A and B are shown apart, each in its own frame.
Chain A
Amino acid sequence: MLAAVIDRVRRREVPCEISIEAPMACGFGACYGCVVATVDGYRRTCLDGPVFDAGMLA
């Protein structure tokens, strides 16, 4: 669903932020368990998110 939203807002150049949920072990950046793929590589949902710009998500 989020992928479909990202696709639509990108095509229409609508500003959009996406809140990501990921399985998480530590919650403070120690375990690298909750990463999400972004245009800058994997980013931790707990520290770098959980809200990402839709344009950031790969």
Chain B
Amino acid sequence: MIDFCGLRLRHPVINASGCFDALAALRVFGAGMAGERFPFAAHVTKTITLAARDGNPPPRVWETAAGMVNSIGLPNRGLRAYLDHDLPALAALRVPLITNVMGSTPAQVGELVAALDPVAEVAAIELNVSCPNVATGLDIGADPRELEALLRHVRPLTRKPLIVKLTPNTADVAACAAGAEAGGADAVSLINTLRARALRPGRAEPWLGGGNGGISGPAIRAIALAQIASVGARVAIPVVGMGGVTSGRDARELLDAGATLVAVGTECFRDPAAGERIASELEGHFTQIAPSPRQLQV
């Protein structure tokens, strides 16, 4: 078992927010993902906001050579519907539940955190800070001082672990991590998607309905490694590493770079059971699909 901010996890692989919907997976795969067969050691929800959001106009995704660009726009039914409808179903999971939230002001984030604090099913709260400050236009999470101020506002509102999902779209991600730590964060998670654009074939206009989007997948794994190493060297709190992990070997590299846990995102779209596979590859229990050269010699 792994201890992460007081959460007991059976392996170090969790899902990245927005990339694996436990309720959709249980509906579609049924017993294949229920109970002990749930592929992740903890479940991180999609981002929940105070008010319901429709999300961005389609098209929302674009495939690249080694990943994808998305502009989904955080569609969700809002805090109240999450508490009333999703939580009772999520409570059936046998793994700790990490609820991801986003607000556009510290007051909004505080309201979300305060509402989740008394909810027993929620083991930890992840703060999505990739939200623009309306006044400056910069992401709240891109400015170390603004991030520290946000944490100082919400820290007193809960005793649950607070994980800050850092944005890679900043000049100095380690300084942002240090700001989150100084404000009272229990952990940081990175990297979120990198700002990116896809063009409509043959035209000079954006493909995505949201204009710009964020790129994820194996294309960003080398960037994730560098940012995780940089953050790990700067802060004492645990790091959840993510960015393009598709195998146990990729996960091992992020752990070696300083991560305590590894999250799997885009790979879940290709293989919804990737969490279990990557965790078992990490343990060295490789499932042999083809005979190894040594076996062929015999």
A-side interface residues toward B, CB under 8 Å? 22-37, 41-42, 47
List the A residue with the shortest CB-CB distance to B18.
A31
- Chain A binding surface, main DSSP class: loop
Q: A42 and B269 in contact (CB under 8 A), knowing A24-B61, A25-B70, A33-B60?
A: no
A-B contact pairs, 28 of them (CB 8 A): A22-B59, A23-B59, A23-B61, A25-B61, A25-B269, A26-B269, A28-B24, A28-B28, A29-B24, A29-B28, A30-B19, A30-B20, A30-B269, A30-B272, A31-B18, A31-B61, A31-B72, A32-B60, A32-B72, A33-B61, A33-B70, A33-B72, A34-B60, A34-B61, A35-B58, A35-B60, A41-B54, A42-B55
Which residue of the partner chain A has the closest CB to B216? Answer: A25
Contact assessment for A37 and B58 in the assembled complex, using a CB-CB cutoff below 8 Å = yes
Is there contact, CB below 8 Å, between B75 and A32?
A: yes
Measured CB to CB, the nearest residue on chain B to A33 is: B61
Residues of B19-35 at the interface with A, using a CB-CB cut-off of 8 Å, are 19-21, 24-25, 27-29
- A36 with B28, Cβ < 8 A, contacts A29-B21, A30-B268 known: no
Chain B's nearest CB lies how many Å from the CB of A36? 7
CB distance from B68 to the nearest CB of A (A): 6
B59-75 vs A, Cβ < 8 Å mask (1 yes, 0 no): 11111000010101001
B218 to chain A, nearest CB (A): 14
Question: B206 at the A/B interface (Cβ < 8 Å)?
Answer: no
- Least Cβ–Cβ distance between A40 and chain B, in angstroms: 11
Complex: A37 Cα to B20 Cα, angstroms: 23
Query: In the complex, which residues of chain A have a beta carbon less than 8 angstroms from the beta carbon of B272?
Result: 26, 28, 30
